[in-house]
């Protein structure tokens, strides 16, 4: 007679008495059935294996405090509840994933539109600058030249370069953030 048969016969058997041997017998006797049930509900063998493993792990860890009247019924109910929890969590995760994906996509598209509008506005403001101021600003910001290099190239003083850059930045600030 299997030890698990003895457990099932005694309606108030405490799993405190389960040893490694009896636990192994329980596992060998019920894992296929539990696995089959979980696969049927989840449609995923890996998830089903994880669910059954989790049930037996929990059974072993809580063996000292559990009072089971019917081992088979307990295990089947456990796999049913664990599988329903898995499905509920999977559904919730998928819903959150979809929300994040859609929100991110919408936010990204909104940001792209805002970036285009800002670039257009900046370009318009730069183009509206006086010729020398515009040239100095573009050389500094777009070409990455130093004030000394700009001064040497345009045959003006470094102080004049600083003045033109300062004037351009002031114009951009006023154009982008008008004072009300």
Res 112: pLDDT? 82
Give 136: exposed, middle or buried? Use CB within 10 Å, 0-12, 13-18, 19+: buried
The number of C-alpha atoms within 13 Å of 123 and in the hemisphere containing its C-beta is 6
> With contact defined as beta carbons under 8 Å apart, do 41 and 88 qualify?
no
pLDDT per residue, tens digit, the chain (180 aa), is 444 454 444 433 444 456 677 788 888 999 999 999 999 988 889 999 999 999 989 888 887 777 777 888 889 999 999 999 988 888 888 887 877 777 666 667 778 888 899 999 999 999 999 999 999 999 999 899 999 999 999 999 999 999 999 999 999 999 988 876
User: Please, what is the angle between helix 71-127 and helix 20-42, to 10°?
Assistant: 50
**Could you give the 3-state DSSP secondary structure of residue 14?**
strand
**What pLDDT is recorded for position 154?**
93
Q: Which tens digits make up the pLDDT trace of 2-51?
A: 444 544 444 334 444 566 777 888 889 999 999 999 999 888 899 999 99
By the 10 Å C-beta count (0-12 exposed, 13-18 middle, 19+ buried), 137 is classed as buried
pTM of the model: 0.46
Domains of the chain (ranges plus CATH)?
A: 3-96 (1.10.1740.10), 128-176 (1.10.10)
Q: How far apart are CA 115 and CA 96, in angstroms?
A: 28
């Amino acid at each position: 007679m299997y030890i698990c048969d003895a457990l099932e016969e005694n309606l108030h058997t405490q799993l405190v008495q389960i040893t490694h041997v009896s636990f192994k017998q329980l596992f060998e006797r019920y894992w296929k059935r539990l696995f089959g049930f979980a696969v049927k509900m989840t449609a995923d063998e890996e998830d089903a294996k994880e669910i059954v493993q989790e049930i037996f792990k929990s059974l072993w860890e809580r063996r000292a405090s559990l009072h089971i009247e019917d081992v088979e019924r307990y295990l089947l109910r456990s796999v049913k509840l664990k599988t329903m929890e898995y499905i509920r969590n999977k559904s919730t995760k998928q819903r959150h994933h979809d929300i994040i994906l859609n929100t991110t996509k919408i936010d990204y598209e909104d940001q792209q539109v805002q970036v285009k509008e800002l670039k257009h506005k900046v370009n318009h403001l730069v183009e509206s600058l006086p010729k020398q101021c515009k040239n100095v600003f573009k050389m500094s910001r777009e070409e990455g030249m130093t004030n000394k290099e700009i001064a040497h190239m345009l045959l003006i003083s470094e102080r004049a370069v600083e003045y033109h850059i300062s004037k351009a930045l002031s114009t951009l600030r006023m154009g982008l953030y008008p004072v009300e």
